Amino acid sequence: MRLSSCFMPTLKENPAEAQITSHRLMLRAGLIRQTSAGIYIWLPLGLRVLRKIEQIVREEQDRAGAQEILMPTIQPAELWQESGRYDAYGKEMLRITDRHDREMLYGPTNEEMVTDLFRNNVKTYKDLPKMLYHIQWKFRDEIRPRFGIMRGREFLMKDNYSFDIDTDAARITYNKMYVAYLRTFARLGMVAIPVRADAGAIGGDLSHEFQILAETGESTLHYDKAIEDFNLASLAGDIDPETVEKLQSLYAMEEEKHDPDNCPVPAADLRTAKGVEVGHIFFFGTKYSEAMNAKVAGPDGNLVPVEMGSYGIGVSRLVGALIEANHDDNGIIWPEAVAPYKVGLINLRTKDDECTAACDDIYRQLGDAGVEVLYDDRDMGAGGKFADMDLAGMPWQLIIGPRGLKNGVVEVKNRATGEREELSLEDALKKVS
Amino acid sequence: MRLSSCFMPTLKENPAEAQITSHRLMLRAGLIRQTSAGIYIWLPLGLRVLRKIEQIVREEQDRAGAQEILMPTIQPAELWQESGRYDAYGKEMLRITDRHDREMLYGPTNEEMVTDLFRNNVKTYKDLPKMLYHIQWKFRDEIRPRFGIMRGREFLMKDNYSFDIDTDAARITYNKMYVAYLRTFARLGMVAIPVRADAGAIGGDLSHEFQILAETGESTLHYDKAIEDFNLASLAGDIDPETVEKLQSLYAMEEEKHDPDNCPVPAADLRTAKGVEVGHIFFFGTKYSEAMNAKVAGPDGNLVPVEMGSYGIGVSRLVGALIEANHDDNGIIWPEAVAPYKVGLINLRTKDDECTAACDDIYRQLGDAGVEVLYDDRDMGAGGKFADMDLAGMPWQLIIGPRGLKNGVVEVKNRATGEREELSLEDALKKVS
């Protein structure tokens, strides 16, 4: 994409309304714009990141055997009346009355709808286990939306729902999703710490929150350092059930529940770090299947309510969380897996025909090789181009000027390390491809 | 995907609520389920088709130079009050009051929001032309939602918005989108007839509706047969501006405006066919930019309101439209470009170990070759498998049984033509790959 025609409205100044790093940088780099409190437009660069994260989340759900569906954003109130959550949910639920005076709502989550789908279409234990997920916009009418898309009102969530015949099977499914989450966050280049959690409004008795580590994180975690090793292990292959149980028994606690005097982990093995919550998984048994009569015939022919779980990842929230974990004073430092473009190509002298011809050619070559490039071909000074490219955070920068070209070299900069190298064009292209 | 674990709840009987073919087949083949009047869940097979159509639409928008953004579903009323459409829009607009008593709405379209985005971020003619599009769920509170997703309330639309410095430039942009639409529908395997249209609620004075031909279409079209040739020509390369103007001058009229006695086309060149509307493009000049003060500095430094157009494709509607155009008594016949899977692999005898081993192997081979396969590995009779596979409409069927295997052959069926061939496994795999 040529920056001269790309819609990437960057800001030189820090916007006053942004209190945290990710919000500030997303506005400044032209990734998002607010339209109402807690509601945002995703601009081209931001949307590319969002879609890449979404795709990684999707691939790991599919790999774990979940099937993607898409439930609508608008739900009928009846389903929530059946489960008993319609009144309980309070003002965070965006309630709507349609033209025929039917009570509707903008879904904050989908336990009821997916339970209804299940009970209407699945009748026997032979069709279990089943995991159905979707990646859809949700709405929670936060009283004080803040921190940009980290605590917005309209947000993109992956929510998966599992159906099993008994609690043993359900536990296997739960652990499968637990591992899928570790893999997902590891592919995003993050260390994720699963923390035993309360089930809260969802209900149930087994639950983990996944927090990714970021210096600017909102909560403080204390955990056994052995947990970090499992993040990488999750990428290497499937983790067997025993290992998962072992991992789940390792110590990980939020600050408010951590008692230093009674911590089972020796000080040398204890890590303390800040985290940002990006996922939450729940096993809640028959809470919804009982209330909504979602039963299947078991092996003996008797009808039994299915054992259910739900598994959420804040997809849009992850964009902010990744920035919280990957930035410096100059801007964002995207992990390669989710960068809007892998390479930022900077033409230092657009008015120099030779330099521009060389840049155009490099742009074409990289495109042909399938490398995603943001090409700064704008007619402006080098300083502004460097600043914008650092701000937008592409992992690699290719900096092309007349002087280097005369000597047969171009500059390659690694955004994360700041390392710069002068390389022959050929070597430079190899390096970033 | 193995059908034994795929969530594809087919129905043997025609559902009483479905009045048209596509609605009936989408319910029967397990592509969608209704959750409220005019609101649907997309099940795995339906979602795959929806995403493939969406991707083709996206690629052709990108190719034409439009940039993808994503605007939220929930909009503030203020923007619509500024344009004057808040009161004018009537009951089709789903109006919402949030917890702070702010008036909001579920966007039925996005002219106001994108104009607001533009005016806040673009200040000079040098940044024009600009086309910004998104593919997002919309809501229109139809008084009588019907025909399944063809006239639903929550629906997926691609809407693109263009900004130009003057009407000449805007006309060029309009024609670019016009060609992009022909290409899009041609890639979907459809003949699209652009019909000059009234601008209606959007406003403005230049507009075309795109109708794809389908025997069960809702409107009758009379048109110069030369138009059909342009559909294919659009795939072969760019259509030059003169050719576009010529194409736009060709006769195409809906029944109610067609006067057989005063038709400029000789009878031999006139075609009559049924059509389904799937796209609509508008040039409306400064209607919104004047009302909302979206101005840029022109070459002379004076501020001028931008010339705008909008360009919609009903992405979810297209799923239904494609079925209206591609089906027979047995079910759907998907065009290859959008089929949920390219191949339906049928194991005729799951209890025969050799047959099942052969099928598993073929499934693996096709997967390795990147061919998308729906593998019917269910333990049930051949009749039901044939019926389901015809219903679901995969372009190719590979039918594997013990008898054929003994003779070293498998059966390949083309869903569209019904042709069946016995081929060696090797040739069969070549054929469907």
Chain A positions in Cβ-Cβ contact with residue B82 (cut-off 8 Å): none
Q: How far is CA B58 from CA A409, B67, B160, B179, B182, in A?
A: 38, 9, 10, 14, 14
Contact A154 B104 (CB under 8 A): no
For the stretch A89-104, pLDDT in tens is 999 999 999 999 999 9
Residues of B in contact with A121 (CB under 8 A): 7, 9, 33
Query: What per-residue confidence (pLDDT) applies to B235?
Result: 80
Look at residue B202 in the predicted model and tell me its pLDDT: 58
What per-residue confidence (pLDDT) applies to A210? 97
Q: What is the pLDDT of residue B242?
A: 86
* pLDDT value at residue B207: 94
If 0-12 CB within 10 Å is exposed, 13-18 middle and 19+ buried, where does residue A365 land? middle
CATH of domain B21-332: 3.30.930.10
Chain centroid to CA B67: 19
Using a CB-CB cut-off of 8 Å, the residues of chain A touching B41 are 69-72, 113, 117
As to burial, measured by CB atoms within 10 angstroms (0-12 exposed, 13-18 middle, 19+ buried), residue B29 is buried
Q: Work out the pLDDT band at A417, boundaries 50, 70, 90.
A: very high
- Residues of chain A neighbouring B143 (CB-CB closer than 8 A): 99
Checking if the pLDDT of B416 tops 80, the result is yes
Residue B43, CB-side half-sphere exposure with 13 Å CA sphere: 20
- Nearest-Cα distance to chain B for A226, in Å, is 36
- Tokens 């089972």: give the residue: A264
Planar angle of CA B260, B261, B264, nearest 5 degrees: 80
For residue B201, pLDDT beyond 70: no
Q: Which residues of B touch A341 (CB under 8 A)?
A: none
3.40.50.800, 3.40.50.1370, 3.40.50.300, 1.10.630.10: CATH of B343-432 = 3.40.50.800
Mutation for B interface: A39, A55, A116, most B CBs within 10 A: A39
d(CA B127, CA B398): 53
- What is the length of chain B? 433
How far B9 CA lies from chain A's nearest CA (Å)?
A: 6
Residue A203's pLDDT is what?
Answer: 59
Contacts of A36 in chain B (CB under 8 A): 74-76, 102, 104
- Test B72 with A44 for CB contact under 8 angstroms: no
Which of A53, A70, A139 is the best substitution to test chain B (most B C-beta atoms within 10 A)? A70
Q: Sketch the domain layout of chain B as residue ranges.
A: 21-332, 343-432
CA atoms within 13 A on the CB side of A91: 8
Asked if B113's CB is within 8 angstroms of A35's CB, the reply is: yes
Q: What are the helix (H) ranges across B270-401?
A: 287-291, 315-325, 353-368, 382-392
pLDDT, tens digit (0-9, with 9 covering 90-100), for B353-364? 999 999 999 999
Checking if the pLDDT of B385 tops 70, the result is: yes
What integer is the mean pLDDT of A59-85?
A: 97
A332 membership: H or E segment, kind and range: strand A331-332
- For residue A202, what pLDDT band results from cuts at 50, 70 and 90? low
Residue A410, min C-alpha distance to chain B (Å): 29
Sign of CA dihedral A198, A150, A91, A113: negative
- Tell me the angle at which helices A425-432 and A353-368 cross, rounded to the nearest 10 degrees: 40
Q: What is the mean pLDDT of residues A354-377?
A: 97
Query: Average pLDDT of A282-294?
Result: 96
Residues of B in contact with A74 (CB under 8 A): 36, 39, 94, 106, 139, 153-154
Q: Once rounded to an integer, what is the mean pLDDT over residues A397-405? A: 97
CB-CB under 8 Å, A141 with B7: no
pLDDT bin (cut points 50, 70, 90) of residue A392 is: very high
A155 → chain B, closest CA residue: B72
> Rounded to an integer, what distance in angstroms lies between the CA atom of residue A59 and that of residue B331?
30
Q: What is the pLDDT of residues B67-100, one digit of tens each?
A: 999 999 999 999 999 999 999 999 999 999 999 9
Contact A397, A404 (CB under 8 A): no
Chain A residue numbers with beta carbons less than 8 Å from the beta carbon of B39 are 72, 74
Instruction: Give per-residue pLDDT as tens, B9-43.
Output: 999 999 998 999 999 999 999 999 999 999 999 99
B315-364 pLDDT per residue, tens: 999 999 999 999 999 999 999 999 999 999 999 999 999 999 999 999 99
- Chain-chain contact of B139 with A74 (C-beta, under 8 angstroms): yes
Split at pLDDT 50, 70, 90, the class of A199 is low
pLDDT exceeds 90 at position B277: yes
Alpha-carbon gap, residue B68 to A45, rounded angstroms:
9
Spatial distance between the Cα atoms of A38 and A23, rounded to a whole number of angstroms = 11
3 state DSSP class of B408? coil
pLDDT band per the 50, 70, 90 thresholds, residue B4: very high
Which of B47, B70, B99 lies at the smallest CB-CB distance from A143?
B99
Query: What rounded mean pLDDT belongs to chain B?
Result: 95
pLDDT at B237 (0 to 100):
75
* Residue percentage of chain A with pLDDT more than 70: 99
Mean pLDDT over each residue of chain A, to the nearest integer: 95
Say whether pLDDT at B204 is over 70. no
Residue among B33, B47, B73 minimizing CB distance to A73? B73
Nearest to A113 among B35, B42, B113 (CB): B35
Beta pairing, strands A103-106 & A130-139: unpaired
Query: Is the confidence at residue A204, as pLDDT, over 80?
Result: no
Q: What are phi and psi of B399, to 5 degrees?
A: -110, 120
Number of A to B CB contacts under 8 A, please give it: 125
Would the CB atoms of B47 and A69 count as touching at under 8 Å? yes
Average pLDDT over residues B153-159: 98
**Proportion of chain B above pLDDT 90, given as a percent:** 91
Q: What are phi and psi of B284, to 5 degrees?
A: -125, 15
Count the neighbouring beta carbons within 10 Å of the beta carbon of residue A406: 10
In terms of CA atoms, which chain B residue is nearest residue A136?
A: B137
- A94 CB neighbours in chain B (<8 A) are 74, 96, 98
Q: For A136-184, what is each residue's pLDDT tens digit?
A: 999 999 999 999 999 999 999 999 999 999 999 999 999 999 999 999 9
CA distance B353 to A312: 40
Sheet holding B409-414, edge to edge: B373-376, B343-347, B396-400, B409-414, B420-424
CA dist B105 → A49, A292, B90, B96 (Å): 27, 31, 12, 5
